[in-house]
Amino acid sequence: MSDPATGTASRMQRRIIDWVDDHRSDVIGLAQALVRIPSENKPPHGNELECQRFIADFMRQLGCHVDMFRPDEVTGLTEHSEYWPGRDYTDRPNVVGVLGQFQPGASRPKGRKSLLFSGHADVVPVLGEGRYGWWDATIEEGKLYGRGSCDMKGGMAAFLMAAQCVRRLELELHGDLILESVVDEEFGGANGTLACRLRGYNADAAVVPEPNNMVISRAHRGGQQFRIYTSGTSIGMGFGESVLPDPVTALAHIVVGLEKLNAKFNARPKPEGFEGDTFPLMPLLLRAGEQLPWGTGEAIPETAWVEFWLEIPAGVTKQELQDEISRMIESLARDVPTVGRVSWRMEERTRFLPGSTIPADSPIIQTLAKNFALAANQQPVFANAPFACDVFMFNLHSPTPCALLGPRGGNAHAQDEWVDVEDLITLTKVFALTIADWLS
Ligand SMILES: [Zn+2]
Compute the distance from residue 186 Cα to the ligand 1 centre, in Å.
7
329 pLDDT exceeds 80? yes
Compute the distance from residue 120 Cα to the ligand 1 centre, in Å.
7
5 pLDDT exceeds 60? no
Is there a domain that residue 2 lies in? no
Is there a domain that residue 1 lies in? no
Q: Mean pLDDT across the stretch 354-377?
A: 97
pLDDT at 236: 67
Q: Say whether both 54 and 78 belong to one domain.
A: yes
CATH number at residue 102: 3.40.630.10
Q: Mean pLDDT across the stretch 334-357?
A: 96
Compute the distance from residue 383 Cα to the ligand 1 centre, in Å.
18
Closest CA to 197 of 56, 81, 366: 81
Q: Say whether both 202 and 276 belong to one domain.
A: no
- Give the total number of structural domains in the chain: 2
β-strands 41-42, 45-46: how paired?
Answer: antiparallel
Is there a domain that residue 3 lies in? no
Compute the distance from residue 212 Cα to the ligand 1 centre, in Å.
10
Compute the distance from residue 159 Cα to the ligand 1 centre, in Å.
15
Is there a domain that residue 299 lies in? yes
CATH number at residue 244: 3.30.70.360
Q: Say whether both 84 and 213 belong to one domain.
A: yes
Average pLDDT, the chain: 95
Compute the distance from residue 47 Cα to the ligand 1 centre, in Å.
16
Residue 30's CB is within 10 A of a number of other CB atoms, namely 24
Compute the distance from residue 403 Cα to the ligand 1 centre, in Å.
14
Residue 40's CB is within 10 A of a number of other CB atoms, namely 17
Residue 61's CB is within 10 A of a number of other CB atoms, namely 10
Compute the distance from residue 152 Cα to the ligand 1 centre, in Å.
5
Q: pTM for the whole thing?
A: 0.93
d(CA 438, CA 248): 58
Compute the distance from residue 285 Cα to the ligand 1 centre, in Å.
22
pLDDT at 243: 80
Compute the distance from residue 287 Cα to the ligand 1 centre, in Å.
29
Is there a domain that residue 390 lies in? yes
Range of the domain at 301: 223-348
pLDDT at 238: 61
Compute the distance from residue 139 Cα to the ligand 1 centre, in Å.
21
Q: Say whether both 25 and 82 belong to one domain.
A: yes
Contact (Cβ atoms closer than 8 angstroms) between residue 112 and residue 84: no
Is there a domain that residue 5 lies in? no
pLDDT at 239: 61
pLDDT at 128: 93
Compute the distance from residue 148 Cα to the ligand 1 centre, in Å.
8
Compute the distance from residue 11 Cα to the ligand 1 centre, in Å.
35
Compute the distance from residue 12 Cα to the ligand 1 centre, in Å.
32
Compute the distance from residue 38 Cα to the ligand 1 centre, in Å.
15
User: Which carries the bigger pLDDT value, residue 101 or residue 7?
Assistant: 101
SS (H, E, C) the chain: CCCCCCCCCCHHHHHHHHHHHHCHHHHHHHHHHHHCCCCEEECCEECCHHHHHHHHHHHHHCCCEEEEECHHHCCCCCCCCCCCCCCCCCCCCEEEEEECCCCCCCCCCCCCEEEEEEEECCECCCCCCCCCCCCCCCEECCEEECCCHHHHHHHHHHHHHHHHHHHHCCCCCCEEEEEEEECCCCCCCCHHHHHHHHHCCCCCEEEECCCCCCCEECEECEEEEEEEEEECCCCCCCCCCCCCCCHHHHHHHHHHHHHHHHHHHHHCCCCCCCCCCCCCEEEEEEEECCCCCCCCCCCCCCEEEEEEEEEECECCCHHHHHHHHHHHHHHHHHHCHHHHCCEEEEEECCCCECEEECCCCCHHHHHHHHHHHHHHCCCCCECCECCCCCCHHHHHHCCCCEEECCCCEECCCCCCCEEEHHHHHHHHHHHHHHHHHHCC
Is there a domain that residue 378 lies in? yes
Compute the distance from residue 52 Cα to the ligand 1 centre, in Å.
16
**Above pLDDT 90, what percent of the chain?**
91
pLDDT at 111: 86
Compute the distance from residue 333 Cα to the ligand 1 centre, in Å.
38
Compute the distance from residue 365 Cα to the ligand 1 centre, in Å.
20
Compute the distance from residue 327 Cα to the ligand 1 centre, in Å.
32
Q: Say whether both 81 and 186 belong to one domain.
A: yes
In which band, very low, low, confident or very high, does the pLDDT at 1 lie, cut at 50, 70 and 90? very low
Is there a domain that residue 6 lies in? no
pLDDT in tens, 122-159: 999 999 999 999 999 999 999 999 999 999 999 999 99
Last residue of a domain, one of 348, 363, 378: 348
Compute the distance from residue 178 Cα to the ligand 1 centre, in Å.
19
Q: Say whether both 300 and 404 belong to one domain.
A: no
Q: Say whether both 343 and 361 belong to one domain.
A: no
Compute the distance from residue 123 Cα to the ligand 1 centre, in Å.
8
pLDDT in tens, 24-83: 999 999 999 999 999 999 999 999 999 999 999 999 999 999 999 999 999 999 999 999
Compute the distance from residue 412 Cα to the ligand 1 centre, in Å.
9
Compute the distance from residue 347 Cα to the ligand 1 centre, in Å.
24
Compute the distance from residue 121 Cα to the ligand 1 centre, in Å.
9
Compute the distance from residue 109 Cα to the ligand 1 centre, in Å.
33
Compute the distance from residue 2 Cα to the ligand 1 centre, in Å.
33
Q: Around ion ligand 1, which residues have CB less than 5 A away?
A: 151-152, 210
Compute the distance from residue 187 Cα to the ligand 1 centre, in Å.
10
Q: Say whether both 232 and 194 belong to one domain.
A: no
Q: Say whether both 321 and 402 belong to one domain.
A: no
Compute the distance from residue 48 Cα to the ligand 1 centre, in Å.
14
Last residue of a domain, one of 303, 322, 348: 348
pLDDT in tens, 280-303: 999 999 999 999 999 999 889 999
pLDDT in tens, 203-254: 999 999 999 999 999 999 999 999 999 999 876 666 666 788 999 999 999 9
Compute the distance from residue 275 Cα to the ligand 1 centre, in Å.
23
**Amino acid in position 83:** Y
**Above pLDDT 70, what percent of the chain?**
97
pLDDT at 3: 46
Q: Say whether both 288 and 327 belong to one domain.
A: yes
Q: Say whether both 183 and 70 belong to one domain.
A: yes
In which band, very low, low, confident or very high, does the pLDDT at 362 lie, cut at 50, 70 and 90? very high
Compute the distance from residue 391 Cα to the ligand 1 centre, in Å.
10
396 pLDDT exceeds 80? yes
Q: Say whether both 406 and 293 belong to one domain.
A: no
